[in-house]
Structure 1
């Protein structure tokens, strides 16, 4: 049987990327992070092979916005940091 990714394909990007899209993209990357399974990395949220559709969408949004890897890692770290 085909995986859902093969059937549905990638999530379309908006015509232009807003700051709100960037916020949603960071959340998608955090929620749909990789977990190691016996058969390889899988999404910790939906167990699809990693990177899943939402993780890929988030990365494409950030790439389209022109963010560097360093900026992306900083934004992710900021979201993961405990709140006072």
Structure 2
């Protein structure tokens, strides 16, 4: 965890995870994906150590919704697919 994460803590989860929350969570995971840097894996968006706060929040939301890893991977692939 980055030092700013230690100060700010985790982002709160919504009390009830809606379909809209799932969409936001998938977007957070895809935007805050890992990239390899000389010092290790970093968030593609904010360069924080990966997983950053928003990536962790997205995963926690999807976990709270009860989605499996396979379902999460499918949602991410759908998000990253080119739209016509």
TM-score between both structures, scaled by the size of structure 1: 0.95
State how many pairs are aligned. 83
Partner of 2:73: 73
**Unaligned 5+ residue runs, structure 2?**
none
Q: Following TM superposition, by how much is the alpha carbon of 1:71 offset from its aligned partner in structure 2, in angstroms?
A: 0.4
**Unaligned 5+ residue runs, structure 1?**
none
Q: 2-side partners of 1:27 and 1:69: how far apart? A: 16
- Aligned-CA RMSD value: 0.9
TM-score between both structures, scaled by the size of structure 2: 0.95
1:58 maps to 2:58: yes
Q: Where does structure 1 differ by over 2 angstroms across 4 or more consecutive aligned residues?
A: none
Partner of 2:42: 42
Q: Deviation string for 1:30-53 (max 9, x for gaps)?
A: 000000011110001001000000
